[in-house]
A = this chain, B = another copy of it.
């Protein structure tokens, strides 16, 4: 009997009649298209009008049952799933990659072939779920934690830093971190500073759509991230996620210059004020930025895992209450990052409170809520006043990166001036010269 979890009605009949089970490779013909791929399970709320297959490039498509002209099984599941053998057959000359799981959609739903919702804990399970990985790397997996990324804090960034450090010291030639997408860009910025001298690529990857949905990006993103970690001749911290509307393109973003700009699209992550540093399309890596540091041998390096959580990010808005700033002083905060308006402004009702914060040795920095462009505080009176109060302008550093860097600078310097010096220093391309002011 066919194993057809989640299918019902017309879709179920069609598949049963052709003796097709989940996991089988099928060919499907409609009046306009032809598809070959693996039949996927369906989940609660699924309609009975579609079947879902996973194409060879990792992309899931839903095909309307009514439009199917021909359907046939090409290869049955039993012949494909030989997980234990896949791993032992991985080429021992491939780069050794550590895959560290921290949680999120990609980790909790990755096993899309069997429809399981648990984490991909072992290399065997991972290779079973995404067999393409065995072509690119010898992967060892480890679950560091299993959190939705909105629950991650600076303490988790420290843990991630130490774990990556351990892996690289132990000879791993690249690291892939699976991560929830909500705060992935904050973590990417944090690791960019904490691991600024890492000799290999560290690639953070997530999924906007879990693998139980048609058009899931889980497998494709993971393949792209692993390929980049294994083969790209660069070092540093990156985010690899789906790009554009193509079904096969992955963009690799610099860890300090990436932002989640859409709640749900697969291409939600965008590089800000620069293009992605690379694209991965199939097995091809196309580098877009030449100035990245080259890959070096895995081994010891100087990780700086500490962050000071006594830093707040405030997005300025009309009628903002200066008492919030004063409260941060009372709480003993050491840093305050504004997302100001336009070129880096806040309303004058906040000036006295900001002055008081500076007098209490708080490091007060200015980024822009516009997101694109750069802070320029010498153009208007408001900016000049804030500069004279002692606010530090952060040029084209985005607000999220600015928060993270201020937390890191305060934890890695002996005094306020040291922290300011670190803030002004370009550590991980968080300041990017060619950003257009036009």
Q: Does A55 contact B (CB under 8 A)?
A: no
- Decide: A318 near B261, CB < 8 A? Known: A148-B382, A268-B373, A324-B324: no
- Decide: A318 near B154, CB < 8 A? Known: A148-B380, A438-B265: yes
Contact assessment for B318 and A186 in the assembled complex, using a CB-CB cutoff below 8 Å:
yes
Contact assessment for B309 and A346 in the assembled complex, using a CB-CB cutoff below 8 Å:
no
Within 8 A of B (CB), among A332-363: 339-349
How many angstroms from the CA of A390 to the CA of B281 in the assembled complex?
44
Q: Does A315 contact B (CB under 8 A)?
A: yes
Chain B: CB-nearest residue to A310: B321
Which residues from B are CB-within-8-Å of A340?
Answer: 150
Contact assessment for B317 and A321 in the assembled complex, using a CB-CB cutoff below 8 Å:
no
Chain multiplicity (copies): 2
Chain B: CB-nearest residue to A186: B318
Q: Does A312 contact B (CB under 8 A)?
A: yes
A250 to chain B, nearest CB (A): 19
Chain B: CB-nearest residue to A399: B315
Chain B: CB-nearest residue to A436: B265
Q: Which of A77-85, A126-134, A364-372 contacts B (4 or more CB under 8 A)?
A: A364-372
A220 to chain B, nearest CB (A): 16
Contact assessment for B368 and A263 in the assembled complex, using a CB-CB cutoff below 8 Å:
yes
Which residues from B are CB-within-8-Å of A372?
Answer: 261-263, 265
Interface centre among A156, A262, A399 (most CB of B within 10 A): A262
- Decide: A151 near B309, CB < 8 A? Known: A342-B260, A373-B264: no
Q: Does A294 contact B (CB under 8 A)?
A: no
Q: Does A181 contact B (CB under 8 A)?
A: yes
- Decide: A317 near B262, CB < 8 A? Known: A268-B373, A347-B151: no
Which residues from B are CB-within-8-Å of A320?
Answer: 312
B153, B182, B343, B348: which contacts A342 (Cβ < 8 A)? B182
Which residues from B are CB-within-8-Å of A314?
Answer: 315
Q: Does A403 contact B (CB under 8 A)?
A: yes
Q: Does A97 contact B (CB under 8 A)?
A: no
Contact assessment for A181 and B342 in the assembled complex, using a CB-CB cutoff below 8 Å:
yes
Which residues from B are CB-within-8-Å of A167?
Answer: none
Contact assessment for B153 and A318 in the assembled complex, using a CB-CB cutoff below 8 Å:
yes
User: What is the 8 Å Cβ interface bit string for chain A, positions 146-190, against chain B (1 contact, 0 not)?
Assistant: 001111111111000000000000000000000001110011000
How many angstroms from the CA of A240 to the CA of B438 in the assembled complex?
20
Contact assessment for A341 and B182 in the assembled complex, using a CB-CB cutoff below 8 Å:
yes
- Decide: A154 near B370, CB < 8 A? Known: A148-B380, A182-B345: no
Which residues from B are CB-within-8-Å of A155?
Answer: 319
Q: Does A302 contact B (CB under 8 A)?
A: no
Contact assessment for B342 and A331 in the assembled complex, using a CB-CB cutoff below 8 Å:
no
Which residues from B are CB-within-8-Å of A316?
Answer: 150
How many angstroms from the CA of A260 to the CA of B341 in the assembled complex?
9
B183, B327, B376, B399: which contacts A263 (Cβ < 8 A)? B376
Within 8 A of B (CB), among A174-216: 181-183, 186-187
Chain B: CB-nearest residue to A372: B262
Q: Does A252 contact B (CB under 8 A)?
A: no
B153, B312, B347, B399: which contacts A150 (Cβ < 8 A)? B347
Interface centre among A182, A261, A313, A399 (most CB of B within 10 A): A182
Contact assessment for A313 and B317 in the assembled complex, using a CB-CB cutoff below 8 Å:
yes
Interface pairs A-B: 9 shortest CB-CB: A263-B373, A182-B341, A182-B342, A150-B345, A262-B372, A262-B373, A153-B319, A309-B319, A315-B315
Q: In the complex, given contacts A182-B342, A260-B341, what are 4 additional A-B residue pairs having Cβ atoms less than 8 angstroms apart?
A: A183-B317, A260-B342, A265-B373, A371-B371
13 A–B contacts, CB within 8 A, in A order: A148-B381, A150-B340, A186-B318, A262-B372, A263-B368, A263-B376, A307-B319, A309-B321, A311-B319, A312-B321, A313-B315, A317-B400, A319-B407
